[in-house]
Amino acid sequence: MRITKLGHACVRIEHEGTTIVLDPGAFTDPDAVDGADAVLVTHEHADHYVAETLLRADAPVYTIEGVAAHVRADAPDLAERLHVVAPGEDFTIGPIAVRAVGELHAVIHPELPRITNSGYLLDLGGHKVFHPGDALTGPGEPIDLLLLPVSAPWLKAAEAIDFAREVGAPRNLAIHDRIYSETGLGVIGGHLDRFLEPTGQVYTRLADGQDLQDL
């Protein structure tokens, strides 16, 4: 098993010969999808979904209907590779079991309509990894690794801390980290360390291209 942090909210997961890439958006190098066996997209915002990047690979794209509608309009050639999943749906990609979790993006402002968003819970041979997309909706079961959003227009530090503590994963890997400066990310990292360490949880932030060790 190999888990690589790529730009912003994108993570590449390799397990038993199968490679899944999640949310290769505008802050991610397009080559993130090279060699992927499948791409998962949580929602339609450009920092998670770029049609041109999806066109680069031959991989099937698993996503919700809200994103699929954009794909059909932006890149009709992708339509035959689309697999539309519903919240709560279970599916498999090679040896990896996946479940779509949640239905709505977090609130950015009460006057803005909320778009759809589904995170993905991946079972990697008994090791469970959860990518929530842009939501604070937990997986509803114990997991080994939370891909934790740490900076966003819809997110306060207290919310990131409480979400990590609520999910309770022993390992927490920072994602959604292009909104803050390095200084700001250092501040949020300090807060997460302060609040998670007493519960036995570990917080890690990796540079793009680095692998998570010791999962």
Q: What are the residues facing 147 on neighbouring strands?
A: 173
**CATH node for 2-204:** 3.60.15.10
**pLDDT in tens for each of the 215 residues of the chain?**
999 999 999 999 999 999 999 999 999 999 999 999 999 999 999 999 999 999 999 999 999 999 999 999 999 999 999 999 999 999 999 999 999 999 999 999 999 999 999 999 999 999 999 999 999 999 999 999 999 999 999 999 999 999 999 999 999 999 999 999 999 999 999 999 999 999 999 999 999 999 998 77
CB 11 within 8 A of CB 5: yes
